[in-house]
A and B are shown apart, each in its own frame.
Chain A
């Protein structure tokens, strides 16, 4: 996961499909933003089917992370900056 592995993250869903991960975020979080594949969050470019949905709750972002051999993970990381980036882009 690059630098994300070194961050303080919580895995909410693991080894799932991308679509299930997207649905999980849509159903469980009121504030969601749609971005295109390749959107940069932290120091990674998100991989996924369009649209990629990112949830926001308090000061955390909740997003899908695709690993080629392991499927999709939905992870939650605290970051005021990434929350602000999403809100200001207003997607």
Chain B
């Protein structure tokens, strides 16, 4: 059975979030994972419109944020990997909550002008990808290629 990855999106205020989500979903799918996305309604609609034909994320793999938290907290579902998008304190709150209710290997994709200080507030173990990116996704793209995909493949082989 394919490993499952969850991308958890916050408020889509910063432009890089949507493109990085589609990019990451594409790479994870190519690596053989089943990819799911949870987010606010606006974040999901942005992704849906960007990926009109559902090449990377089908609408059936999109989950409303509150429902996703509910299913995880009630242990009705869990994932092998979870990527939480963080650019403000609310994102940190979701990251911390996912850590409490899920056994997934956790990645924090931290971006925006406050990225360094937000990363400094994380006092538990998770993979952190930190960039001040707001508009230009390329710094995060490089980190994802270097860290995430290699890490996911390594982890998948060893488990």
B-binding residues in A (CB < 8 A): 2, 17-19, 36-38, 40, 44-50, 66-69, 71-72
Which chain A residue shows the least CB distance to B10? Answer: A68
Whether A38 touches B97, Cβ cut-off 8 Å, given contacts A45-B69, A68-B90, is yes
A-B contact count (CB 8 A): 64
Q: Contact between B100 and A66 (Cβ–Cβ < 8 Å)?
A: no
Q: Contact between B93 and A18 (Cβ–Cβ < 8 Å)?
A: yes
A-binding residues in B (CB < 8 A): 10-11, 13, 40, 42, 65-66, 69-70, 72-73, 89-94, 96-97, 99-101
Q: How far is the CB of B145 from chain A (nearest CB, A)?
A: 27
Bound CA span A18–B69, Å: 18
Q: Contact between A69 and B11 (Cβ–Cβ < 8 Å)?
A: yes
Q: Contact between B93 and A37 (Cβ–Cβ < 8 Å)?
A: yes
Q: How far is the CB of A76 from chain B (nearest CB, A)?
A: 20
Q: Contact between B65 and A18 (Cβ–Cβ < 8 Å)?
A: no
Q: Contact between B65 and A49 (Cβ–Cβ < 8 Å)?
A: no
Of A46, A49, A69, A71, the contact of B92 (CB 8 Å cutoff): A49
Q: Contact between A49 and B96 (Cβ–Cβ < 8 Å)?
A: yes
